[in-house]
Amino acid sequence: MPLNDETPITDATIAYVNSVSHRANPPLDALRAEMTGHPRGFMSVFPVQSQLLQVLALAMGARKALDIGTFTGASSTALAQVMPAGAKVVTLDVSEEYAAVAKRVWKEAGVESKIELVIGSADKSMEAMLAKGEAGTFDIALLDTSEKKDYAPFYELALKLLRKGGALVIDNTLYGGRVLPSDARNCEPGREGDGARALIAFNKMVHADARVAMAMLTIADGVTIAVKR
């Protein structure tokens, strides 16, 4: 289909999609309202992303999930809500402060028994899981950490932990448009420019990776789904 035949992603388009797609989720809706106006509120996953995670987990019959980047617990809660009794979501973060919020949300949502929180650097945590023999045991994983330079090494570790047919969902792959060749911000110095350049290289790497089937979606801040072959 020619590009000019695609539906433009306007504010009106997004509002319509939300009106016929978003479903009420009291604990996550309350968390989103709580984080509105917070200096790091932008780090929370969008409701459409939470629902996408749930759709994928249900379709796969997921029983073991990896959440790389807990923050305040939206993604781990969403996954745990649709996974069966006895399932497990392992969620990784370095912040005790935000994990405390997540713990409260898990309890409010009634999913705390399904979630295992690991505090520490994500790479070390995943390496420890691999050392314990957990390679190929996860059904689904979300990669959503604040430092985009970490995406490439975290991607490699997550792929090792996923089973064949497992899905790796990667957030922020459009990075506010900074990855576009026409966007001058990806040439700027500093953290945002560094992050944009890291994601430009990362997106190219995933696109060329024959180990996965992949697609990038233009929802939220860009979501790439890579399924391990």
| Spatial CA neighbour of 125 closest among 63, 70, 60 | 70
Residue 29: predicted pLDDT: 94
pLDDT of residue 48: 92
What range does the domain containing 35 cover?
3-228
Contact 93, 121 (CB under 8 A): no
pLDDT score of 4? 61
Q: What is the pLDDT of residue 183?
A: 86
Helix (H), strand (E) at residue 53: helix 47-60
Q: Which of 70, 71, 171 is nearest to 116 (CA)?
A: 70
pLDDT of residue 1: 45
Q: What pLDDT score was predicted for residue 133?
A: 98
Which residue shows structure tokens 């019959």? 61
Do 176 and 221 form a contact (C-beta atoms < 8 A)?
A: yes
Give residue 193's pLDDT.
87
Give CA–CA dist 59/226, Å, rounded: 15
Number of domains in the chain: 1
- The CATH number of whichever domain residue 153 belongs to comes to 3.40.50.150
pLDDT of residue 36: 84
Report the chain (229 residues): mean pLDDT per 10 consecutive residues: 72 93 94 84 82 97 97 97 98 94 96 98 98 98 94 98 98 94 83 90 98 96 97
Give residue 185's pLDDT. Answer: 84
